[in-house]
């Protein structure tokens, strides 16, 4: 039957271009006209079918009219392997392996919108080649606590940085005729109790911290889809939340795309009808075992909705609005005849993954210039740690991938240095030996028979004669690490890694710690280790990218997109706010009493405590000198601008990139404000001795705060300070002006 429908659709589509060509198929016609035409041809049942899933990741379109299915896919770091029609398990295809791009934390750490554009374009090409219409990502939930198991999928703690990085990602993906589905809207800032957390947050914090990146995604990125989050806000689930979806997303921001539920995030038929949800996915995903003939008929936006319309309880106004938006999505994607064909696992994609990773790795510390490594014939390099060999692309939840290849850090180091040096490996500790997710296995045997004591002793004895000791550890993608649906138990490194690092530090002064994680970790040994790299989850090219930075082939230029606190007790979410690490059955209120004190907005004000590493921090193998910033005028009118310029010089002997950060501070305001907030950044490439002028334009928007009483952004007259900085804790110059 389905085939017959498809054939009929094809015939309509193929009939010679004449007056009979239906408007909805005529790409020369405005999209709104095509939508109306298609809508007018659809039956009630076809409309209902269009707004809920028919399988784990697809919805049916309208076969009779030749309107194709909508195929979605995770996201956001690579294109997820095909799963069975109604199961989470992979389908076992042999042509669905992908390139894993670096996790979004790494992308954010590049502070380079060009990298985000390259990322989006490349990922979109992979999605397109796999015939997907919607990529479920990127995620821009704010980093509120380092315990959130899903931080690795997001872009850090700062709304401005996340917004600036998400926009080119979206444009890049969508240039392929593939929609992004920006997630998880909104306030999904931890995983434990994610379905039953009711977030209580004041409007100011909501608008200033948790919403701006989503707003940028909608208004600047033009995303064609948004995913509602699992949690509740104002006691309504965010997949059908009147306030976030109707009032903010559609009325205030003018979003014209599709709202997709998170998988299993739809709970109430009436709310799903009225409160902005357009497509329901993942409900009751035990699939065909549930219900009568087709479990998908039980979805809230399936028979229950149909019944309400049939028995006159509700009209079709909301339904038509939803269908219009889905049709628009289809016209923008699968029915866009001009979209490119895409490509999978191309050399260009590997090159992009490696380049982004190289720009995102952050050099946290480099005492005595231990890095870059200078390796001579006969040098001995000892690599220690499970993360040097463990595949990191499998696991972590829905972002898990099946990759065509993944270069391990150890292999990358061997490949780069092996012709000169002897590269030896010691395990050091045993962490997680598993390697399976939804039927995708790494195929690695990580079993180990030595005792923990023996492992440390062996590593220490190997370290004694080594020219360099590279410890590669951190977290992994297992539960309670960096993993969806669980949070971390604490800030510390698991598996007693601290003891291994300390034991190594005691026998060598050429120790480099490479921390693989999507989250901040405690580093009680920070003073004892001369060089530390934050290397994230960087995907297929992990080993190459790490070796690029260790060797100096790539001069590190990443900067932290979130604060590394020294202790969990220094994090406002845990000082003032609420957070529950224990699972509960009922709805649990979580009050964000930490308010806007997220990350550097808090650490900036602390006199007694210092972060381990501040937001925006990241070193280079060269040095940069900042000139005195200059401002175009000491006064600004409400509709005017001022520009701030600063000269940056590369004072070292290597080419390198520096990200110049611009923060704004309001000296006096009617409501308390953070000391300073990021409002601009620019990454520049400079050869040794070269200098360049970096200029920022400041306008009213950069000076405004959200006034909750007036429900609008306000820039109050007064003195503003512009800080030019190399990191949030490394201000290099300040200029001031008065807003009239
Ligand atoms: C996750 C989403 C994901 C979806 C589909 C959910 O559990 O929260 O981010 O896109 O599953 O896999």
Tell me, using a 6 A CB cutoff, whether residue 153 lines ligand 1: no
Within 10 angstroms of residue 95's Cβ, the number of other Cβ atoms is 9
Closest CA to 97 of 389, 348, 390, 344: 344
> What is the model's pLDDT at position 363?
99
> What is the model's pLDDT at position 369?
96
Q: pLDDT tens, 483-538?
A: 999 999 999 999 999 999 999 999 999 999 999 999 999 999 999 999 999 999 99
Q: pLDDT tens, 10-68?
A: 444 454 444 589 999 999 999 999 999 999 999 999 999 999 999 999 999 999 999 99
Residue 575 lies in a domain: no
> What is the model's pLDDT at position 565?
98
Residues 122 and 206 placed together within one structural domain of the fold: yes
Look up residue 244 and give its DSSP letter.
I
Going by alpha carbons, the residue nearest to atom 8 of ligand 1 is 262
| Average pLDDT for 152-159 | 98
Please say whether the beta carbons of 306 and 44 come within 8 A: yes
Under the banding of pLDDT at 50, 70 and 90, the label for residue 8 is: very low
Residue 351 lies in a domain: no
Please say whether the beta carbons of 640 and 697 come within 8 A: no
Tell me, using a 6 A CB cutoff, whether residue 130 lines ligand 1: no
Under the banding of pLDDT at 50, 70 and 90, the label for residue 290 is: low
Residues 311 and 382 placed together within one structural domain of the fold: no
Please identify every residue annotated as catalytic: 262
Residue 568 lies in a domain: no
Residues 81 and 3 placed together within one structural domain of the fold: no
Residues 500 and 649 placed together within one structural domain of the fold: no
Q: pLDDT tens, 395-421?
A: 999 999 999 999 999 999 999 999 999
Distance separating alpha carbons of residues 290 and 269, to the nearest angstrom: 18
Residue 268 lies in a domain: yes
Final residue in a domain of this structure, among 513, 532, 554: 554
Residue 273 lies in a domain: yes
- C-alpha to C-alpha distances, 41 to 31, 45, 314, 316, 384, nearest whole angstrom: 16, 12, 21, 15, 65
Distance separating alpha carbons of residues 189 and 151, to the nearest angstrom: 8
Q: Considering its fold, how many domains does the chain have in total?
A: 4
> What is the model's pLDDT at position 288?
47
> What is the model's pLDDT at position 291?
55
**Would the pLDDT of 1 be above 70?**
no
- C-alpha to C-alpha distances, 701 to 641, 657, 658, nearest whole angstrom: 10, 28, 25
Residues 271 and 380 placed together within one structural domain of the fold: no
Share of the chain above pLDDT 90, in %: 95
Tell me, using a 6 A CB cutoff, whether residue 157 lines ligand 1: no
Q: List the CATH number of the domain containing 683.
A: 2.60.40.10
Q: Supply 614's token pair.
A: 């501040």
Residue 137 lies in a domain: yes
> What is the model's pLDDT at position 2?
45
> What is the model's pLDDT at position 263?
97
| Average pLDDT for 260-282 | 97
Residue 90 alpha carbon to ligand 1 centre in Å: 15
Instruction: Count the residues in the chain.
Output: 740
Q: Say which residue, 600 or 290, is predicted with more confidence.
A: 600
Please say whether the beta carbons of 587 and 196 come within 8 A: yes
> What is the model's pLDDT at position 286?
55
> What is the model's pLDDT at position 375?
97
> What is the model's pLDDT at position 421?
98
Note the pTM of the prediction, 2 decimals: 0.96
> What is the model's pLDDT at position 5?
44
Share of the chain above pLDDT 70, in %: 96
Final residue in a domain of this structure, among 332, 347, 373: 332
Residue 436 alpha carbon to ligand 1 centre in Å: 18
Q: Supply 577's token pair.
A: 């706010």
Q: pLDDT tens, 628-678?
A: 999 999 999 999 999 999 999 999 999 999 999 999 999 999 999 999 999
Residues 22 and 57 placed together within one structural domain of the fold: no
Residues 113 and 203 placed together within one structural domain of the fold: yes
Range of the domain at 94: 42-332
Residues 536 and 680 placed together within one structural domain of the fold: no
Residue 218 alpha carbon to ligand 1 centre in Å: 20
Residues 314 and 454 placed together within one structural domain of the fold: no
> What is the model's pLDDT at position 294?
83
Residue 35 lies in a domain: yes
> What is the model's pLDDT at position 285?
54
Residue 136 alpha carbon to ligand 1 centre in Å: 8
Probe target for ligand 1 pocket from 72, 484, 486, with the most ligand atoms within 8 Å of CB: 484
Residues 108 and 204 placed together within one structural domain of the fold: yes
Residues 447 and 385 placed together within one structural domain of the fold: yes
**Would the pLDDT of 720 be above 80?**
yes
Residue 591 alpha carbon to ligand 1 centre in Å: 24
Look up residue 164 and give its DSSP letter.
H
> What is the model's pLDDT at position 663?
99
**Would the pLDDT of 186 be above 60?**
yes
Tell me, using a 6 A CB cutoff, whether residue 136 lines ligand 1: yes
**Would the pLDDT of 297 be above 70?**
yes
| Average pLDDT for 581-597 | 95
Q: What is the mean pLDDT of the chain?
A: 96
Q: List the CATH number of the domain containing 139.
A: 3.20.20.300
**Would the pLDDT of 482 be above 90?**
yes
- C-alpha to C-alpha distances, 725 to 110, 647, 683, 732, nearest whole angstrom: 16, 12, 12, 5
Final residue in a domain of this structure, among 511, 536, 554: 554
Tell me, using a 6 A CB cutoff, whether residue 398 lines ligand 1: yes
Distance separating alpha carbons of residues 724 and 626, to the nearest angstrom: 9
Least confident range from 270-284, 289-303, 364-378, 465-479: namely 289-303
Residues 310 and 383 placed together within one structural domain of the fold: no
| Average pLDDT for 184-196 | 98
Residue 341 lies in a domain: no
Tell me, using a 6 A CB cutoff, whether residue 75 lines ligand 1: yes
Distance separating alpha carbons of residues 444 and 432, to the nearest angstrom: 12
Please say whether the beta carbons of 656 and 621 come within 8 A: yes
> What is the model's pLDDT at position 643?
98
**Would the pLDDT of 146 be above 80?**
yes
**Would the pLDDT of 384 be above 80?**
yes
């Amino acid at each position: 039957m389905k085939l017959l429908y498809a054939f009929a659709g094809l015939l309509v589509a193929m009939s010679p271009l004449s007056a009979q060509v239906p408007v909805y198929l005529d790409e020369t016609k405005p999209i709104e006209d095509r939508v109306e035409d298609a809508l007018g041809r659809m039956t009630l049942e076809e409309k209902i079918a269009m707004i809920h899933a028919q399988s784990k990741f697809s919805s049916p379109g309208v076969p009779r009219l030749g309107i194709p299915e909508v195929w979605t896919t995770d996201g956001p770091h690579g294109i997820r392997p095909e799963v069975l029609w109604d199961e989470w398990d992979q389908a076992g295809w042999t042509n669905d392996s992908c390139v894993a791009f670096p996790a979004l934390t790494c992308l954010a750490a590049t502070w380079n919108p060009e990298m985000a554009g390259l990322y989006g374009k490349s990922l979109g090409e992979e999605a397109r080649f796999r015939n997907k219409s919607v990529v479920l990502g990127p995620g821009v939930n704010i980093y509120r606590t380092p315990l959130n198991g899903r931080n690795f999928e997001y872009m850090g703690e700062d709304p401005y940085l996340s917004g600036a990085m998400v926009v080119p990602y979206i444009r890049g993906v969508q240039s392929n005729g593939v929609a992004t589905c920006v997630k998880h809207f909104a306030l999904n800032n931890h995983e434990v109790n994610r379905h039953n957390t009711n977030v209580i947050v004041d409007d100011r914090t909501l608008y200033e911290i948790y919403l701006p990146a989503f707003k940028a995604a909608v208004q600047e990125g033009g995303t064609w889809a948004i995913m509602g989050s699992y949690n509740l806000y104002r006691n309504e689930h965010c997949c059908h939340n009147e306030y976030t979806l109707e009032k903010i997303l559609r009325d205030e921001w003018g979003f014209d795309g599709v709202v997709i539920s998170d998988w299993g995030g739809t709970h109430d038929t009436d709310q799903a009808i009225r409160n902005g949800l357009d497509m329901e996915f993942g409900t009751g995903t035990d699939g065909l075992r549930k219900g009568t003939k087709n479990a998908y008929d039980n979805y809230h936006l399936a028979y229950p909705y149909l019944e309400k319309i049939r028995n006159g309880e509700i009209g079709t106004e909301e339904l038509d609005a939803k269908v219009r938006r889905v049709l628009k999505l289809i016209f923008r994607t699968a029915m866009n005849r001009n979209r490119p064909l895409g490509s999978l696992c191309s050399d260009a994609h590997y090159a992009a993954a490696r380049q982004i990773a190289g720009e995102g790795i952050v050099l946290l510390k480099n005492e005595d210039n231990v890095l870059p490594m200078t390796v001579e014939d006969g040098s001995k390099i000892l690599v220690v740690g499970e993360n040097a060999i463990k595949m990191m692309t499998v696991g972590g939840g829905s972002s898990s991938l099946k990759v065509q290849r993944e270069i391990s850090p150890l292999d990358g180091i061997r490949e780069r240095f092996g012709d000169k040096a002897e590269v030896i490996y010691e395990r050091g500790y045993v962490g997680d030996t598993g390697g399976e997710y939804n039927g995708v296995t790494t195929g690695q045997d990580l079993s180990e028979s030595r005792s923990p004591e023996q492992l440390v002793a062996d590593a220490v004895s190997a370290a004694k004669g080594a020219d360099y000791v590279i410890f590669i550890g951190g977290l992994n993608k297992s539960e309670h690490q960096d993993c969806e649906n669980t949070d971390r138990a604490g800030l510390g490194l698991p598996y007693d890694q601290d003891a291994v690092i300390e034991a190594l530090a005691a026998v060598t002064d050429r120790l480099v710690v490479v921390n693989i994680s999507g989250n901040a970790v405690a580093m009680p040994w920070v003073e004892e280790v001369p060089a530390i790299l934050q290397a994230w989850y960087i995907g297929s090219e992990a080993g190459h990218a790490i070796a690029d930075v260790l060797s100096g082939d790539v001069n590190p230029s990443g900067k932290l997109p979130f604060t590394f606190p020294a202790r969990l007790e220094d994090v406002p979410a845990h000082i003032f706010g609420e957070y529950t690490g224990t699972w509960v059955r009922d709805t649990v209120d979580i009050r964000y009493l930490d308010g806007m004190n997220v990350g550097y907005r808090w650490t900036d004000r602390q006199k007694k405590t210092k972060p381990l590493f501040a937001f925006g921090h990241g070193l280079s193998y060269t040095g940069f000198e900042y000139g005195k910033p200059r401002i175009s005028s000491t006064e600004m009118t409400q509709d005017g601008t001022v520009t701030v310029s600063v000269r940056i010089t590369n004072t070292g002997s290597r080419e390198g990139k520096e990200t110049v950060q611009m923060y704004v501070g309001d000296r006096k305001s009617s409501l308390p404000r953070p000391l300073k907030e990021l409002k601009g950044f620019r990454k520049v490439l400079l050869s040794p001795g070269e200098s360049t002028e970096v200029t920022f334009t400041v306008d009213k928007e950069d000076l405004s705060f959200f006034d909750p009483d007036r429900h609008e952004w306000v820039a109050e007259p007064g003195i503003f300070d512009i800080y030019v900085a190399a990191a949030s804790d490394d201000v290099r110059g300040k200029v001031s002006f008065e807003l009239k």
